[in-house]
Amino acid sequence: MLECRPVDGALVVRVWIACCGEAREVAADGAEFSVAKNKAIDHWRHAQVERRYLETLPSAEITWKPSVEVWLREAKSLRPVHRVCLILRYVHGMTRAEIADRLGLSETQVKGYLQYSLTILRRELEKTSS
């Protein structure tokens, strides 16, 4: 096993200068030079990877919330009439009477569709959470 003494900051600076071509004299033997050079390269590579990773993260101000409309459209357990009633009610804010007029249903039917579809969604959420 090769034993190396700890690399101090001055050696890393000398190696960095040597790698950049600003100075060619390095007062260290070959093993210390390789260790210092590799440590400097690893440091800069790690800093670059970390910077790229941090750039991909969303800022703290922007929090993504799934749209209720998208969630309702993707719910496979809902029939189209249930989906339409839910979207009109909770996304567009229409009353049951407005939904009934728009869809050509009675207000009682709309109320039943809304209650039934909410029950279906509750069951679906319980299945996924457990």
Q: In terms of domains, do 116 and 72 share one?
A: yes
Q: Are residues 79 and 42 in the same domain?
A: no
Task: Give the pLDDT confidence of 117-128 residue by residue, as tens digits.
Answer: 999 989 888 887
> pLDDT tens, 18-52?
665 554 444 555 666 677 777 778 877 888 888 88
Alpha-carbon radius of gyration of the chain = 32
Residue 2 within a domain: no
The closest alpha carbon to 100, from 91, 118, 113, belongs to: 113
- Asked whether residue 78 falls in the same domain as residue 50, the answer is no
Q: Smallest Cα–Cα separation from 40: which of 70, 62, 9, 67? A: 9
Domain with 81 in it: 68-122
Report which residue type is found at 118. Answer: L
One-letter identity of residue 5: R
Put simply, whether the predicted model's pTM sits higher than 0.85 gets the answer no
pLDDT-derived band at 98, boundaries 50, 70, 90: very high
